[in-house]
Amino acid sequence: MKYYSINRKSPLVDFKEATIKGLAPDRGLYFPETIPQIDVALIKNIEKYTNDEIAFEVIKPFVGNCIPKSKLFEIVNETLNFPIPLLPVTENTFSLELFHGNTLAFKDIGARFMSRCLGYFVKGIDKKLTVLVATSGDTGAAVADGFYDIDGVDVVILYPSGKVSMVQEKQLTTLGKNIHTLEVNGTFDDCQKMVKQAFADDELNKKLFLTSANSINVARWLPQQFFYFFAFKQWLDKVHPPVISVPSGNFGNICAGLLAKKSGLPVDHFIAACNANDVVPKFMHAAVYQPQPAVATISNAMDVGDPSNFIRVLELFDNHFPNLKNVLSAYRINDEQTKESIQKLYEEYNYLSDPHGAVGYVALQQYLDHYPGKQGIFLETAHPVKFYDVVEPLLKIKLPVPDVVREIMNQAKQATMIEPAYGALKTFVLGL
């Protein structure tokens, strides 16, 4: 498998080079040259396969010969070390719970897969690798956990001060060793802009071996396809595939789902469930893409005003808007609707949801109201305890605290505060 830059001004590369570089030299995102088609027999008999076997078959063509098959299966096995259950919630809606990993968020899979790929690749490099990542909450936590104590890799995480939950901040700032955290006095978009500037800085790139662990990196983006295959494996009505609602911020997750569908996975329709940051819902209405400053919401991991991966969504459909509109809908859900759905899910259906899953649930319900008879899945992307300051006052309950959270809450924060200026990031990275 070869990968090209969406900007089309850089040479083709293989999976290894695309993973190590993160971004192409022309600052474009890498995209697979072809979309492999999944074996029809796997889809037909998917219940007979283990999750490891499914994931291996899905990711194998994207990796090609860059990792030996036995090593790739080992990486997949280490990545999938927690369950991903599909649970009934209402008569026509189901929740795919993606939060049973170490950092209680869906990004654990992508981060674990990427860290293990890079750990394999870095053995052949005589320079220390520096991973730069901007996070609106869960990405940084998953990356910190996935890369912690990996030889030959330094990780620098940027997060917006005061705009992540307390649990998320503890997960970002308490590890130490090779994990370095920068608390940025700004927004997620500021953090993301600074990371992009670092990759465009020729002087910095001559001195350091830089790569990214955001979902712009193919090794973080591609394994997110696994979720959708695992959902279909557990879906009982194989004749009528589900509608899938994905809480969407930077659009890596839903883009992976759309890629899975293009590869042959049966999915009826996708819904991009967005909060007040509604660049994509506006685009889907008027076919005009207009980035905007990020707005703070209670579903903070989706507070993105210029989603990096949406360009990949467009690429999947050859930038042809009518084709995209046939497969994807997008909804804007405000904080009040989110709060109401958290309460409704708990009080009427005895289901605990975090704010992001609640956004996905509301968007799914709005779609199903227009298409009665269909059934759907919303992705529950984070454990509710990560947003206890939102969930507990709403439900007037005390959430059970998983052991992995209890262990970090009393640990000391290790973070450096910087202004949202690229010079501050550059100085810090060069000083490592």
DSSP string, 12-42: -B-HHHHHHHSB-TTSPBEEESS-PPPPHHH
Q: What per-residue confidence (pLDDT) applies to 410?
A: 87
How do residues 265-302 score in pLDDT, each as one tens digit? 999 999 999 999 999 999 999 999 999 998 989 998 89
- For the chain, list the domains and their CATH numbers: 83-103+221-397 (3.40.50.1100)
Contact 184, 190 (CB under 8 A): yes
Closest CA relative to residue 235, chosen from 39, 38, 47:
47
| Residue with more model confidence, 340 or 22 | 340
Strand order in the sheet with 86-88: 86-88, 93-97, 376-380, 243-247, 269-274, 328-332
107 carries an active-site annotation: yes
How do residues 108-147 score in pLDDT, each as one tens digit? 999 999 999 988 988 877 777 899 999 877 788 888 998 8
pTM of this prediction? 0.91
Closest CA relative to residue 261, chosen from 328, 216, 334, 195:
328
Q: What is d(CA 134, CA 178) in angstroms, rounded to the nearest whole number?
A: 16
- Residue 143 carries which side chain, given as an amino acid letter? V
Kindly tell me if the per-residue pLDDT of 260 is higher than 90.
yes
**Three-class secondary structure of residue 218 per DSSP:** helix
Q: What per-residue confidence (pLDDT) applies to 152?
A: 82
Q: What is d(CA 295, CA 304) in angstroms, rounded to the nearest whole number?
A: 8
Q: What per-residue confidence (pLDDT) applies to 196?
A: 87
Q: Choose, from 21, 107, 163, 261, the residue flagged as catalytic.
A: 107
Instruction: Quote the tokens at residue 93.
Output: 């809606």
Q: What is d(CA 310, CA 231) in angstroms, rounded to the nearest whole number?
A: 23
Interhelix angle for 226-234 vs 252-262, to 10°?
A: 60
